[in-house]
Structure formats: C-alpha cells, structure tokens
Amino acid sequence: MVYLKKFELLDKEDWSGYPFHIFLEKELYNIEFEPITIFYGNNGSGKSTLLNIIAETINNSQKIIERKNDLVKSDYFDMYIEKCNYYVENNIPIGSKLICSEDIFQNILHKRLENQKKNEKRDELQKQYLQYKYNPVDYSSLENLSISVETRRKTQSKFIKSRVDENLREFSNGQTSLDFFDKELKEGRLYLLDEPENSLSPNFQLELIQLISELSRFFKCQFIIATHSPFILSIPNAKIYDLDEIPVCTKKWYELDNMKIYYNFFRNNANLFN
C-alpha cells in the first residue's frame, strides 16, 4: 500500500540555510516512495532530519502523523517546511506515526521506573503490615481500624497484592524493543521509523523485518525507514536512497558502501567460521 507517493524538497533557488543546505549539496529535490522506502547513509547524512521534514510538512497541513515527543525546531525549520510539497496516492490514515529510537529507549526506561516505584511501595506496605498486625488494634480512625482488622485476616502477601499491581514484565532491552514495535505497529498506517534496529540483536532484527514485511504486504501499511542495518536494508523490494552519494540515487542493498565493508570483513575472516 502506498499513501505518501512523492515529496518535494526545496531547490537551490528557494533555500540555502543550515541545516537544510545538506540536501542541496546532495542534489536531493524529489523523493518517490514505494510500500517500503529506506534512507541509508552514514552519521550526519541527514536521514533523521529528512524523516522529520516529511512528518512535519504533512502535519503542517493536517495533524495526522503522531509522535511521542515534540520536535525541537527553529523558526528556520518552520520556514523551510512551508515550502516543501507532498503528494498522496491514498489518504494518509489517522494513527500514522513517526517512531524514533528515543521513543523505544523511553519505553524501556518507563517500565524500569514503574517497577521501581512498585517495589518501593511493597517495602512500605510490608512495614505497615507488620506494624498493624503485631500491635494492638488501632482505633484512632476508621482507616487505621480497617487496616488493623485486615492485617489479622490476610497474609502479608495477600495484603500487599491487594494494594499494588504486579510488576510490568521486564525483558532484555531487545525483547522490550521488539515488543514495543509489535504493539505500536497497527494495520493500515503510514510509519516513519528512525533507526528501529537500535537495541535489537540480529535475531530480533530479523523478526522485525518479518513484521514490517508482513504489515506492508498483507495489512496495508507503508514504511519510510532511516537505517544502517544490513538486515533492514535487505528487505525484499525496498526502495533504498543512498544519502552518501552525490547526487543521491537509489541502489540495491548489496551495492551500498557499508554493506561492502561487512562483506569484505567476513570474507577476510571466512576461515574462522569453518
């Protein structure tokens, strides 16, 4: 499924300000999208900036791309996106999202903090339970009387469970990240993913590309992805823009410079795998 069909950046006659001159230097003016489109390039190549430009240009005309964190931007950014244009093949669905690596890390941190708070609450309740259970009944208030009676009727574990929910299930960072994508990615949406491979082991990256491929092929999702990952880059039929080239051009994943570095590294060490 294709929702976003084409995006037009400014040309040299329109703009030369930082940081957007980076795309002028790369001679990148028009981007055409497929069901899965990937922006590839080294650090500083503009992959994340490009995703933000696309998301904010769309939101400038219709608030339809959700993001968990507000973008820190200058007045120049707003001036820039006002002159960008985009074209759709199908209406962009409500619930479409830009998901950044920061969102994933915040999700991991949120689970840890929530569980820490619950553990601290359990410690407080354990002390409260022992205080009320092994001292005379406290008649000073209805609340204290109720707690005194309850501690005599319940075990410590049941007393605590009645007041604190179970901990959120914690996995490794990679498992938590994969679970995050499994819950966030819904049928029939446009998704802009900024380096989704962060925190994911090779096995989990393979699971993620299976999820992305199935959502694109069978569940009417479109993906625009910024990535370094050889696994994500190798998704069948993905259209890849090489932001390291001037002018920017499309390539097959195995034609990219970094993929050749991986290939040469493993080829030079092939005897170690025998």
Query: 113 or 158, which is more confident?
Result: 158
Q: Using one digit for the tens of pLDDT, what is the confidence trace for 194-248?
A: 999 988 889 989 999 999 999 999 999 999 999 999 999 999 999 999 999 999 9
Among 34, 95, 66, CA closest to 250: 34
Q: Using one digit for the tens of pLDDT, what is the confidence trace for 144-156?
A: 888 888 888 888 8
Mean pLDDT across the chain: 87
Q: How many helices (H) and strands (E) does the chain have?
A: 10, 10
Distance CA 24, CA 247 (A): 9
Among 86, 59, 98, 81, CA closest to 2: 86
Query: 74 or 246, which is more confident?
Result: 246
Query: Model-level pTM?
Result: 0.78
